Each structure stands twice: as structure tokens, then as C-alpha cells.
Structure 1
Amino acid sequence: MNQKSIFTAFIFLISLISNAQNWMGNGDKIKGNGKIVTINRIISEYDEINVGGSFDVLLVRGKEGNIKIEGEENIVPLIETTLTGNTLQIKFKKNTNIYTTKKLIVTVPITTISKISLGGSGNISNEGVFKSNDLSVSLGGSGNIKLQIDTNELNANIGGSGNIDLSGKTTEFNSSIAGSGNISAYELISKNSTATIAGSGSIKTTTTSKIKAKVVGSGNIYYKGTPSETDLKSVGSGEIINKN
């Protein structure tokens, strides 16, 4: 990942954080009534998913567009599922201040997805192994993303204090952190890995052929595997550590 790409990713993450704050709203607090309901919504197909809110999103294999929402009766109607171009937007309605007493789960079927983004304190995970040619995963805020992946190229970016947990395999793995977040990818086997940290976060990666790593600040990059090519640079108190 070149410097221009990293800068673009960081700008996008800042936008994610800003949007997440807007979605949380400043209106009257709405407390969940404790009564669990399940509803289904039908929309058109999508290539990207953008999530903002403090709920769980589960990605499953299936026909795109048939979305299931499970949560409290008076909270579920406040979740918007809309399309902007080819992007599925999942978020709370603007100017709503939500307080849930039960879990809120949105189940999203996917066939082919190129980008997954999370802004806020929610969680995204998938069921089974997700196969794709290229995938970009972005996290802005304090949320968590956990994915099992089989892809040619994977880009993972964090802006904030959240966590991304990855497993599976990829040929090219590009990761970057701006802030105190963590990318845990020991269980993701990559041929080539590029890792960049600006801040106090950490990246853990496993690579078999080539690794290029750079730390600016107090963050740490840990790598496993036996790459034949290494390009390692650290500016500040951070370290790049061989964990074999």
C-alpha cells in the first residue's frame, strides 16, 4: 500500500468516525422495552456494507437483499437499512439517542462484497469463510470486526481504538492503524504483507514471502512466518518484532 493509499484510507476513517457520531444523535433517549421481535426487510443487491451504530451485524451466505433484524420492539423501527449507490447503509435514524436493554442483531446475506466499513461501537462478524477477490475492511471508532476470509487481496484499516480480528488466507495483506486500535491477523496466512502504524496501536500478521512494516510512534508490529524479504522501519519508541 503506497503513501497516497494510506492517506486516503485515513481520511475515509475520519469520515467514518464523524458519521458514527452523527448517527448516535443528540435527541431524547429512547430505552428499549425488552420485548424481542424479528422483522425482515427486502432491498436491492449491494456490493459494499457501511454500518454505524451499537448493534451486531452478522454476515451470512445467501441471496442479497433479504435482511433480518432482531431486537426490542420499539428500537427495531429506528434502524435504517438503505442503499446509497451500491452501498448498503445500516444505521440508527438521525437524532435518536438509543439505549438498548437486549441484544440488537442485524443479519445480512452476502454473495460478493468488496468493502465492509464500521463506524461506532458495534460489531461485525461473518458465518463461515467469506470468499472474495479483493476486500477492504475499515473501522472507525471503538467497534470490533471479526472475519474469516479467503481472498486475493485484503486491506484492513483502523482509525480509533477498535479491533479487527482476521483469519483465513490471502495473497496480499495491507494493514494500517491511525490511533490505538489493534489488528490481530496471526491466523490470516498471507504471502506478502504491508503494515503501517501511526500511533500506539498494534498489528499482528503472518506472512510467508515478504513483509514491509513501518511504525511511527509507540505502536508495535509483530510478525510470524519466514519471509525471505523484509523491509522494517521504526520511528519513535515503537518496535517491529519477529515472533517466530
Structure 2
Amino acid sequence: MKTKSVLFVILTMSVLFTACDEDHSVIPSGNVTTVNKTITGYTKVNVSGPFSLYVTFSNTDEIIEIEANENLHEFIIVEKQGDQLIIQLANNVSINGGNAVLNVYVTTKQLDAFYGVGAVKIQLQNDLLGDNLLVELTGASNFKGFVQVNQLSAKITGASIMDLTGNSDLFNMEATGASNLGGYDFETNDFIADLDGACNIYLTVQQSLDVTAAGASNVYYKGSGVITDQNLSGGSKIVKMD
């Protein structure tokens, strides 16, 4: 009898744990609402999932506004971990059908790193000014805005896109998997790039270019920059446009 009871408990617990591991599918409701949060003390933002992030820099205000379908708010995680602001959906939650709204508006003082995974859209609402900036994108993510920094580092993969204006002293870039940097309106003095897999880069370079490119990846540049080192293969090329 005791053996049967123990087996029943084990079986019940197994069913419960299996249920917890299953995906939770949610159809977005038609009503869109906004939830405000106050989180401070972070310098980096890490976004996962199909969120659109809008960032405004302010010397005085710090606030986070989450605009989403009313029934999705309970599944949205916005929290601080170390020096990072984490924005993501809860584990095993998927959104199916309907018109999903997942917008996060962040007003903060300064950020030095952005991480976007899985069709994330990041847009700067005003100018980002600073010393160093890191942008890492993967899975068809997008970063757009004006950046003025001493050193910019970018790692983009999986058909991700950066659309920049502004300038830097040094721009160090890694790109793979049909990822692109668009626009001659971003200018750097020195450009170091490692590209692979049909990436296309458009920018203005005023001093030097050091480019490794493979798999039909291309750099199109304007400005007075001089190619100091190049390692090109698989139909890749560097093209001066003016």
C-alpha cells in the first residue's frame, strides 16, 4: 500500500513538472495598456524576444514604460541584474495570432552597451554621447540612432541591421550571416572589420581601414580613409565611393 502511495506521489509530481515545462501560448487581447516601472543603476540593456525598445537620454529623469496588450503584461519581465536592465518574456511563453504590442520606453542617463536577441528593434530617440559603446545583435535584430563616442564596438549576426548616424574615433566591427550596416552618415576615423557571409557595410572613413572579409561580404566607404590592411576572399571587396 505504501509503495502504491509513493508511486502515486512521484507520478503526480512528474505530471506537474511536465506541465510547467510546456509552452504557454497566448493570444494578445485587443486592449493595450501601459505599466510604469522605476529601475535605476544600470548601464546596459539586454533585450530578448520581439520587443521594440525606444531609448531617451535625460540628465534628470529615469523611468520605464511598458506598453503591451493587457493580457501580456503578466508574462513580461523587466528587471535589473547586476548592471544590466533585462527585458524579456517569461520562459516557455509564446505569442500566437492577434496584433501583439510589445513596446518598452526607457528614459535614463547613460548606456554603454546594448544586447538584442531575436527580432529586437532598438531605436535611440535622441543622441547617445559617451566614451565607449558596445552593440551586439543577433537573430534579425535592428539598432538605429545617432551615436557619438570615442570607441564603438559592434557584433551583429543572423541578418541583423545597424542604421547609424554620428561618429567615432575607432569602430571595431564583427558581422556574419547577411548582416548590414547602412548609411554613409556615420563617420569614423579608423575602421576595423571582420566580415563573413554576405554582409554589406556602408560608412564614411577618414583615416584607415583594416578589413577581413569572406563569403561575398563588401565594404562601401566614403571619405579620405586609406586601406592599411585587407584580407579578402570569396568574392568580397572594398569599394571607395567618392
TM, length-normalised to structure 1: 0.85
Residues 126-173 of structure 1, C-alpha deviation per residue, up to 9 Å, x if partnerless? 111111110000101112111211111101111211111111111111
Per chain length, whose mean CA-contact separation is higher, i.e. which structure has more relative contact order (CA < 8 Å, sep 6+)?
1
CA contact (8 A) 1:195 1:221 kept: no
User: Aligned to 1:38, what secondary structure does the other structure show?
Assistant: strand
Tell me which of 90, 105, 108 is aligned to 1:107: 105
Residue aligning to 2:90: 93
Give, in angstroms, the shift of residue 67 of structure 1. Answer: 0.8
Tell me which of 99, 122, 130 is aligned to 1:124: 122
Farther off after superposition, 177-186 or 130-139: 177-186
Tell me which of 73, 92, 96 is aligned to 2:70: 73
Q: In the superposition, relative to structure 1, how do residues 193 and 242 fare at CA in structure 2: closer, same or farther (>3 Å)? A: same
Give, in angstroms, the shift of residue 229 of structure 1. Answer: 5.0
Q: Which amino acid letter does the alignment assign opposite residue 169 of structure 1?
A: N
Residue aligning to 2:34: 38
Residue aligning to 1:193: 191
Larger radius of gyration: 2
Q: Identity of paired residues, percent?
A: 26
- Which 5+ residue runs of structure 2 have no aligned equivalent? 1-20
Residue aligning to 1:148: 146
Matched, 1:27 2:16: no
Alignment RMSD, CA only? 1.7
Give, in angstroms, the shift of residue 92 of structure 1. Answer: 0.5
CA contact (8 A) 2:57 2:127 kept: no
Residue aligning to 1:182: 180
User: Aligned to 2:157, what secondary structure does the other structure show?
Assistant: strand
Tell me which of 199, 203, 208 is aligned to 1:210: 208
CA contact (8 A) 2:62 2:109 kept: no
CA contact (8 A) 1:70 1:106 kept: yes
User: Aligned to 1:74, what secondary structure does the other structure show?
Assistant: helix
User: Aligned to 1:45, what secondary structure does the other structure show?
Assistant: coil
Residues 96-154 of structure 1, C-alpha deviation per residue, up to 9 Å, x if partnerless? 00235143210112212111010001200011111111000010111211121111110
CA contact (8 A) 1:44 1:64 kept: no
Residue aligning to 2:10: none
**Distance in 1 between residues matched to 2:227 and 2:140, nearest whole Å:** 34
Q: Which amino acid letter does the alignment assign opposite residue 156 of structure 1?
A: A
